[in-house]
């Protein structure tokens, strides 16, 4: 536990957005599950939770297991995990914190047994959505609460890198993304992209290929590149299968669906379905995929002028989900609404474009939103420094910089 004590002397930046979500559950009879993509900062948030609990209860009994450290390599099964924890436990209250628990198959059996004893306050992290879905969720039903951790928002990015909100820092954010460790690297595109490529490879090998025993790695790589090149475009397993055929390859629709699910489970990409704006019906086919960290997406395609609209759209999506919105792609007749965002039963609508540079773009972006006949907020988001109008028939035009700094 000595390495944990060192965090008291480190200048760690607290991510209050997430700590505020976790604090109400301190000492509550629920398993606190922190989920998210590898390297988005779950481990540091878990250590910050440990630090706060330790400050509240200096005499508390803490058990911290970090499966990224070699000292815990001997724990291979849920039975060994259970036995190890029991050996370290006391009769009274135990604080149990486990990092990257998905590496132990069947871990939920150990947790349920410990939870049933009533003297464990449990916090875990994991880089796979199966922690809160499928058989695991069924096994721990009613016993867990999920806190989703994302890469840095733009405001967090500014805080971590000690930058001001302006077009220069925004450009850097759009290019490098929001993985927290980047703050320790020089502001050099080659250095940062090399780091991001290594993280991407780790996610693909450890959280997708190894976990799901994928054999056709070249196809998986091509699939991820396809999603990167088509960020913000409607795709389906059938359209991907057709594309693969055009490349003189072959993959069944069911295999493609499986691979897409694996990528989503590893939090590399997010799948966004379409819904009717009027009837709210969800369409079963045709969806969009966005990368949970835009920097990882840029390692696959580069960061260039041709892709800027895709990057901006991806960043707006990430902004919305980080702020707790449920997001769909809107369909209104033949028209498409980039994002239909819902939180607490309230809706808002977003059209995203690079620049409102000519009349056709203006007509399309504002016209699509004008077709929605309700009184919920509607926004056109662009990179324009000087909006052509603050609002038009109730539709507000806002710069990406203002959106990301919560000036709406």
Condensed to tens digits (0 to 9), the pLDDT of residues 278-315 reads 877 777 678 999 999 999 999 999 998 889 999 999 99
Q: What is the pLDDT of residue 246?
A: 85
Q: Are 132 and 146 in contact (CB under 8 A)?
A: yes
Q: What is the pLDDT of residue 280?
A: 73
Please write the tens of the pLDDT for every residue from 4-56: 555 555 567 999 999 999 999 999 999 999 999 999 999 999 999 999 999 99
SS3 (DSSP) at 284: strand
Work out the percent of the chain whose per-residue pLDDT is above 70: 95
Q: Which domains does the chain have, with CATH numbers?
A: 2-148 (3.40.50.300), 154-404 (no CATH)
Q: What is the pLDDT of residue 217?
A: 93
Please write the tens of the pLDDT for every residue from 352-390: 999 998 888 888 999 999 999 999 999 999 998 776 667
Predicted TM-score of the model (pTM): 0.94
Q: What is the pLDDT of residue 250?
A: 86
Q: What is the pLDDT of residue 358?
A: 85
Q: What is the pLDDT of residue 263?
A: 98
Q: How many CB atoms lie within 10 A of CB 369?
A: 24
Mean pLDDT of 50-64: 96
Q: Using the predicted structure, report yes or no on whether residue 3 has a pLDDT greater than 70.
A: no
Work out the percent of the chain whose per-residue pLDDT is above 90: 80
Please write the tens of the pLDDT for every residue from 319-365: 999 999 999 999 998 999 999 999 999 999 999 999 998 888 888 99
CB-based contacts of 133: which residues, under 8 Å, 6+ apart?
A: none
pLDDT band of residue 182 (cuts 50, 70, 90) is very high
Q: How far is CA 258 from CA 206, 208, 216, 237, in A?
A: 17, 11, 13, 10
Q: What is the pLDDT of residue 248?
A: 80
Please write the tens of the pLDDT for every residue from 116-128: 999 999 999 999 8
The distance in angstroms from the start CA to the end CA of the chain is 45
Please write the tens of the pLDDT for every residue from 152-168: 999 999 999 999 999 99
Of residues 243 and 90, more confidence is placed in: 90
* DSSP at 74: T
Please write the tens of the pLDDT for every residue from 392-404: 788 999 999 999 9
The first and second tokens of residue 273, run together, are: 């379905």
The first and second tokens of residue 27, run together, are: 């000492």
């Amino acid at each position: 536990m000595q390495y944990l004590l060192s965090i008291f002397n480190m200048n760690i930046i607290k991510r209050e957005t997430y700590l505020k979500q976790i604090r109400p559950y301190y000492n509550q009879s629920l398993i606190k599950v922190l989920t998210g993509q590898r390297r988005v900062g779950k481990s540091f948030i878990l250590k910050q939770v440990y630090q706060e609990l330790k400050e509240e209860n200096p005499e508390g009994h803490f058990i911290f297991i970090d499966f990224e450290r070699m000292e815990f390599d001997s724990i291979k099964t849920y039975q060994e995990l259970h036995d190890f924890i029991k050996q370290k436990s006391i009769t009274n209250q135990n604080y149990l914190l486990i990092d990257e628990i998905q590496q132990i198959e069947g871990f939920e059996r150990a947790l349920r047994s410990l939870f049933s004893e009533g003297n464990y306050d449990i916090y875990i992290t994991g880089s796979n959505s199966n922690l809160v879905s499928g058989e695991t969720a069924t096994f721990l039903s009613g016993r867990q609460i999920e806190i989703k951790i994302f890469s840095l928002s733009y405001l967090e990015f500014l805080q971590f890198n000690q930058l001001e909100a302006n077009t220069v820092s925004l450009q850097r954010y759009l290019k490098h993304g929001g993985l927290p460790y980047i703050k320790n690297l020089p502001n050099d595109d080659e250095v940062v992209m090399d780091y991001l490529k290594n993280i991407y490879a780790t996610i693909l090998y450890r959280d997708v290929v190894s976990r799901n025993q994928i054999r056709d790695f070249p196809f998986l790589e091509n699939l991820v590149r396809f999603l990167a090149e088509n960020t913000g475009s409607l795709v389906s397993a059938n359209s991907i299968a057709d594309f693969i055929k055009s490349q003189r390859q072959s993959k069944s629709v069911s295999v493609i669906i499986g691979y897409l699910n694996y990528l989503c489970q590893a939090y590399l990409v997010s799948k966004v379905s379409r819904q009717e704006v009027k009837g709210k019906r969800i369409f079963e086919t045709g969806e969009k995929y966005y990368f949970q960290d835009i920097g990882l997406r840029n390692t696959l395609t580069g960061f260039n002028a041709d892709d800027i609209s895709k990057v901006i759209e991806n960043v707006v999506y990430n902004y919305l989900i980080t702020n707790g919105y449920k997001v769909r792609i809107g369909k209104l007749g033949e028209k498409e609404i980039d994002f239909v965002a819902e939180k607490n039963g309230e809706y808002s609508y977003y059209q995203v474009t690079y620049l409102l540079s000519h009349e056709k773009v203006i007509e399309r972006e504002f016209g699509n939103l004008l077709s929605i006949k309700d009184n919920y907020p509607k926004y056109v988001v662009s990179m324009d420094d000087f909006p052509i109008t603050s609002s038009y028939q109730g539709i507000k035009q806002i710069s990406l910089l203002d959106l990301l700094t919560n000036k709406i």
